[in-house]
């Protein structure tokens, strides 16, 4: 929906780039549901996802929100939404995915000498990672649902104490796909709705104000930075992951690699987390964080965590 034109046409003020409530990718106005003694542009419209979210009182359905903002009936609001090229959802669509049993690729076994040498050559403690993260490996023949998983380190993905997915990292450096994740219909939880981390490292009281996390791109970065780190499985994080991060951490350092797009995404993530009340900032590193020397990584973690 062309929300800025709608706001302009109906003289509804929204946050400019100079306003403290401005965030890239969002168009923010005063929330008609909760504005009171603490006014501000808290109601955001996500231009990518086409939905409303108030940073004080939560998500909002489009039709009632437009009706409230324009002080019109919901029937009239539907007409306005269509006029500005929006979609009126009369009923939440139900998407049915035919689920299969969750399992790992064929011939997945404990790490072989080849897998361990791959990790050792990159400065990792192979035995420690194998034990801590439950790493496994595949050889020359391995597949699942027609997908080739040969010669990979298989990292199980756990959530709420249960294995829900996995990701395989190529150890030959010849595959076009460095990482291949579990087929979606075999995931118990979609991996982009959660984070890759050591859940056991979280304190029992998540509300501890000084608890700090280090957000990284991938699983090898987590292996490098340890218990304080969590990964979003790539720089293209999801709204579900942003909400989850904001619910788990009070302070977050975002450490993506130094490629231009990664820097853009890191800055965007910092902005979204700040908008949710998280003390977030980006940490610059040279190259891939997962390729850092362990001593340098340890030093960086200490400087972030304190």
Identify the pLDDT of residue 19: 63
Which of these three, 140, 165, 192, is where a domain ends? 192
End of a domain among 192, 214, 243? 192
Q: What domain range is 205 assigned to? A: 196-305
73 plus 129 within the same structural domain: no
Please tell me whether residues 205 and 167 are part of one structural domain.
no
Count of the separate structural domains present in the chain: 3
Question: Which pLDDT score is estimated for 93?
Answer: 43
The answer as to whether 92 is a domain residue is no
- pLDDT at residue 295, rounded to an integer: 96
Of 153, 173, 192, the residue at which a domain comes to its end is 192
What's 31's domain CATH number? 3.90.580.10
Q: Are 300 and 210 within one domain?
A: yes
In a shared domain, residues 200 and 282: yes
Judgement on whether residues 283 and 212 belong to the same structural domain of the protein:
yes
The pLDDT assigned to 35 comes to: 64
Q: Is 102 inside any structural domain? A: no
User: What pLDDT does 39 receive?
Assistant: 64
| Residues 183 and 208 placed together within one structural domain of the fold | no
pLDDT of the chain, 306 residues: tens digit per residue: 889 999 999 999 988 766 655 666 778 898 888 765 556 787 888 877 788 887 667 778 899 999 999 999 999 999 999 998 776 654 444 444 557 899 999 999 999 999 999 999 999 999 999 999 999 999 999 999 999 999 999 999 999 889 999 999 999 998 888 999 999 889 999 999 999 998 765 554 444 444 899 999 999 999 999 999 999 999 988 889 999 999 889 999 999 999 998 999 999 999 999 999 999 999 999 999 999 999 999 999 999 987
CATH number (domain holding residue 118): 3.90.980.10
**DSSP states along the chain:** --HHHHHHHTT-----TTSTT--TTEEEE--TTT-SSS-S--EEEETTTTEEEETTTEEE-HHHHHHHHHT--HHHHHHHHHHTT----SSPPPP--------PPTT-EE--HHHHHHHHHTT--HHHHHHHH--EE--SS-EETTEE--SEEEEEEEETTEEEEEEEEESSS-SS-SEEEPPGGG-SS-GGGS-EE-GGGS-S-TT-TT-EEEEESSHHHHHHHGGGEEE-SSS---HHHHHHHHHH-SEEEE---SSHHHHHHHHHHHHHHHHTT-EEEE---SS-GGGS-HHHHHHHHHHHH-
For residues 209 and 182, membership in a common domain is answered with: no
Q: Domain for residue 103, yes or no?
A: no
244 and 168 within one domain: no
Shared domain check, 235 and 170 = no
**Are residue 79 and residue 124 in the same domain, yes or no?**
no
């Amino acid at each position: 929906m062309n929300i800025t034109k709608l706001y302009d046409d109906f003289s509804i003020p929204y946050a400019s780039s100079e306003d403290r409530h401005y965030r890239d990718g969002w168009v923010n106005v005063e929330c008609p549901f909760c504005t009171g003694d603490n006014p501000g542009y808290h109601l955001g419209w996500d231009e990518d996802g086409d939905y409303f979210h108030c940073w004080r009182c939560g998500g909002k359905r489009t039709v009632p929100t437009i009706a409230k903002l324009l002080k019109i009936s919901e029937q009239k609001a539907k007409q306005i939404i269509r006029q500005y090229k929006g979609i009126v959802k009369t009923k939440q669509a139900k998407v049915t995915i035919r689920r299969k049993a969750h399992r790992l690729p064929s011939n997945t076994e404990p790490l072989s000498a080849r897998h361990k040498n791959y990790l050792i050559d990159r400065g990792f403690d192979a035995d420690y990672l194998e034990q801590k993260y439950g790493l496994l490996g595949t050889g020359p023949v391995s597949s699942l649902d027609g997908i080739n998983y040969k010669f990979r380190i298989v990292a199980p993905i756990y959530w709420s104490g249960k294995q829900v997915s996995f990701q395989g990292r190529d150890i030959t450096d010849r595959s076009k796909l460095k990482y291949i994740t579990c087929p979606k219909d075999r995931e118990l939880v979609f991996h982009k709705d959660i984070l890759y981390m050591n859940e056991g490292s979280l304190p029992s009281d998540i509300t501890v104000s000084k608890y700090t996390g280090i957000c990284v791109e991938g699983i090898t970065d987590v292996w490098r930075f340890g218990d304080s780190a969590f990964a979003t499985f790539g720089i293209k994080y999801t709204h579900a992951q942003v909400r989850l991060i904001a619910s788990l951490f009070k302070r977050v350092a975002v450490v993506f690699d130094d490629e231009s797009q990664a820097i853009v995404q890191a800055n965007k993530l910092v902005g979204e987390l700040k908008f949710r009340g998280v003390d977030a900032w980006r940490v610059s590193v040279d190259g891939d964080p997962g390729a850092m020397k362990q001593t340098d990584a340890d030093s960086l973690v200490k400087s972030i965590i304190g």
